[in-house]
Amino acid sequence: MFYREAGDFKTSYVDDGQTFPIRFDRYRYYAVLVVAFAVVPFVINDYWVNSIFLPFLIYAIAAIGLNILTGYCGQVSLGTGGFMAVGAYACYKFMTGVDIWIGGEQYALPPINIFFSVILAGIVTAFVGMLFGLPSLRIKGFYLAVATLAAQFFLVWLFNKWEWSFNYSASGQINAPERGVFGVAVTGPNTHAWAAYLFCLVFLTILAIMARNLTRGSMGRKWMAIRDMDIAAEIIGVNPLRAKLSAFAVSSFYIGIAGALFFAVYLGAAEVGEAFGISKSFLVLFMVIVGGLGSVFGSFAGAAFLVLLPVLLKNVLVSGLGWPTDLAAHLEIMIVGGLIVTFLILEPHGLAQLWRVIKEKLRLWPFPH
């Protein structure tokens, strides 16, 4: 009944090639956009934004980024946390004004608008990501994972050590000063819930549409060719250098933006070892795996699953049932871990595949024969 193409005629190639060719799917997508942009901002408060929406939106960006690299191009990366740190620190430098000391004289750029700071942070991260992507030209699989792990540790060490990167603050912390877009604050403590939410949502929407189209186009096909069999891809004319490095660049661009938003809009203050440690890399990797490799929707689903489930469990166990907080925290870890394992056994291709199966079923429902 749902998701049927019957009667949904296309008369041009443009129509045929659109992102959501099925009418029902397309309307659902528009409905979600309308709700996200026009309804949610009016009903959310600080708690919803800071505990649910911001982490979900930001992790979704990071998960899309990692999905491009791991899911589409097949390059395993454990450096996500480090790349997020690059984004965060770059954003901090841009939003406070990049300073250079030459011969005792200080030259500083003026502080850049937060929107462009975030984009510039993404670009800086893209270059760093390409740099650390170079080993991928020679090594694959587990060995590449180890090389990116080195990036993770190196970058965390760098931002702990390099005083210029945190403006010589005594504690090594970076703090996001108040910055705004069109006169509305989006960083700093006086930000309204809706402003922070919309700011991240705009980024997520643009980036998700970009990712969807990149992966459907020639670039995405090259990535997937490299993923499926790199030698065959090379023989049919895919340049592995360009394909792999472009995947690293685009992926790091996304992750850098996620890191910048994570620091500037969500946390407001960050410390590299704590906020961007190795656990962050694994968390984003789990999101991608649970959500589904090689799927933009999977990135959303994975991020939602791993952000919402702990919050939900905590609220049910502590606020709902009144259990001790330590017991609830331990149980939460076990339940989330158990669910991940169960999911992977029952549906190795992640939540995205589950969704695809449901869609197929819905096409035939209620007459499956």
Partner 1 sequence: MKLKLATLALGAVMAAAPAMADLVFPSLSYRTGPYAPGGIPFADGYADYFTLINERDGGIGGEKIQMPECETAYNTEKGVECYESTKGLGSLVYQPLSTGITYQLIPKVTADGIPMLTSGLGRTSAKNGTVFPWVFNFPANYWDGASVAIKHILDEQGGDISGTKITLLYHNSAYGKEPIRTLEQLSEKHGFELSLIPVDSPGQEQKSQWLQIRRERPDYVIMWGWGVMNQVAIQEASNIRFPMDKFIGIWWSGSENDVVPVGDGAHGYKALTFHNMGDDYPLYDDLKTYVFDKGLAAGAGDQHGSAVYNRGLYGAMLVVEAAKVAQEIHGTSKITPEMMRDGLESLEITEETMTALGLPKFGPEFSVTCENHGGNGYAAIAQWDAKAGEWNLITDYVQSDQEIIQPLIEADSMAYAEESGIEPGCN
List the interface residues with partner 1, window 163-222 (CB under 8 A).
170-173, 175, 177-178, 188-190
Q: Which helix (H) or strand (E) holds 335?
A: helix 325-346
Measured from the CB atom, the residue of 48 and 127 that comes closer to partner 1 is 48
Least spacing, CB of residue 332 vs partner 1, in Å = 9
Local structure of 238: helix, strand or coil: coil
From CA 367, how far away is CA 310, in angstroms rounded?
38
Closer residue to partner 1, CB minimum distance, 47 or 162? 47
Stretch 127-166: interaction string toward partner 1, x if CB under 8 A: ---------------------------------x------
Q: Cα 234 to chain center, whole Å?
A: 29
> Please, are residues 246 and 129 in contact by the beta-carbon 8 Å criterion?
no
* Tokens linked to 301: 């689903």
Give whichever of 315 and 342 is closer to partner 1, judged by the CB atom.
315
Residue 79 phi, psi dihedral angles, 5° rounding: -100, 15
DSSP structural state of residue 103: T
Q: Which of 71, 74, 81, 268 forms a contact with partner 1 (CB under 8 A)?
A: 268
Prior bond of 366 cis (ω within 30°): yes
Q: Choose between 189 and 237: whose C-beta lies nearer to partner 1.
A: 189
Indicate the SS3 state at residue 108: strand
Structure tokens at 225: 């060719």
Site membership for partner 1, residue 338 (CB under 8 A): no
Nearer to partner 1, 51 or 123 (CB): 51
Per-residue interface string for the shown chain with partner 1, residues 77-116, x marking contact by CB under 8 A = -------------------x--------------------
Contact 106, 99 (CB under 8 A): yes
CA distance 293 to 290: 8
CB of 235 to partner 1, least distance (A): 39
* CA–CA separation, 41 and 196 (whole Å): 10
Tell me how far, at minimum, the Cβ of 18 lies from partner 1, in Å. 17
Task: Pick the binder of partner 1 from 5, 99, 228, 274 (CB under 8 A).
Answer: 274
271 scored as a contact of partner 1 (CB under 8 A): yes
* CB distance 193 to 48 below 8 Å: yes
Positions touching partner 1 (CB under 8 A) are: 28-29, 32-33, 35-36, 40, 45-48, 50-53, 55-56, 96, 160, 170-173, 175, 177-178, 188-190, 266-271, 273-275, 277, 297, 300-301, 304, 308, 311-312, 314-315, 318-319, 324-326, 328-330
